[in-house]
Every structure is written in structure tokens, then in C-alpha cells.
Amino acid sequence: MSSSAPWLMELVAVADASAEMVDIPAFEVGLIISGRRSGFAAPPARISDGSQAVAWVEGSEATFQQIVGGAITPQQAFLAGLLSCQGEPEVLLRFTALLEACGSSRRQ
């Protein structure tokens, strides 16, 4: 996965446009996408290397594309076994809320 993956760039853009992101403590989530590692950090929203991550989310490239594209929610993906999560619960909730916001904007 390159840092220019369209769904990841869309996630960064949604986070940058979110008024709620300004008022939250900084966080970093490690991403394992189809076996490749990277990360997402905010605020400000940016792609990272995941080295400071306190939570990890793992899934396939296709699953993340479906979530950000609005085809499924993060919760549906988790319950179907398409995503696995570990680490700091508060950070995972922030990240999944951001994924949900991104997908919701596409479903409308």
C-alpha cells in the first residue's frame, strides 16, 4: 500500500475537515493493511509510519476501501471478522468514529 491510496487520502481529508478533530488529544493508530504496516495520526491528520501507535487495526485493502467508501461500517467489518483491533480502546473509538464519518459522507 502506498501512502497515496485514495481511501487513505480521503480519510485524511475528512479528518482535516472535521471540527471535532481540533479538540481531541493527539493519537496514532497503526494500520496493518494486507500485511503492510503504516499509520494514521491526528490532529493534524496525516499518514504516519505507526511507530508511536498505541492501537492497531488490521484488515485487507478491500475492507478499508469498503469502509471508507460507505459500503460497510467499521462495526460490520469487525463483526464479520474482516477487521481486527487491539490496543488503547479510546484511540480505537476515535479512529473507528472517523472511519464511520468518512463512510457516512459517502452513503448520503
Residue with cell 481540533: 22
Class of domain 6-107: alpha beta
Q: What pLDDT, in 10s, does the model give residues 8-35?
A: 898 898 888 887 777 788 999 999 999 9
Confidence of residue 107 (pLDDT cuts 50, 70, 90): low
Per residue in 41-75, is it b (16+ CB within 10 Å) or e — as a string?
Answer: bbbebebbebeebebbbbbeeebbbbbbeeebbbe
Instruction: Give the pTM.
Output: 0.86
Is the pLDDT at 108 greater than 50? The verdict is: yes
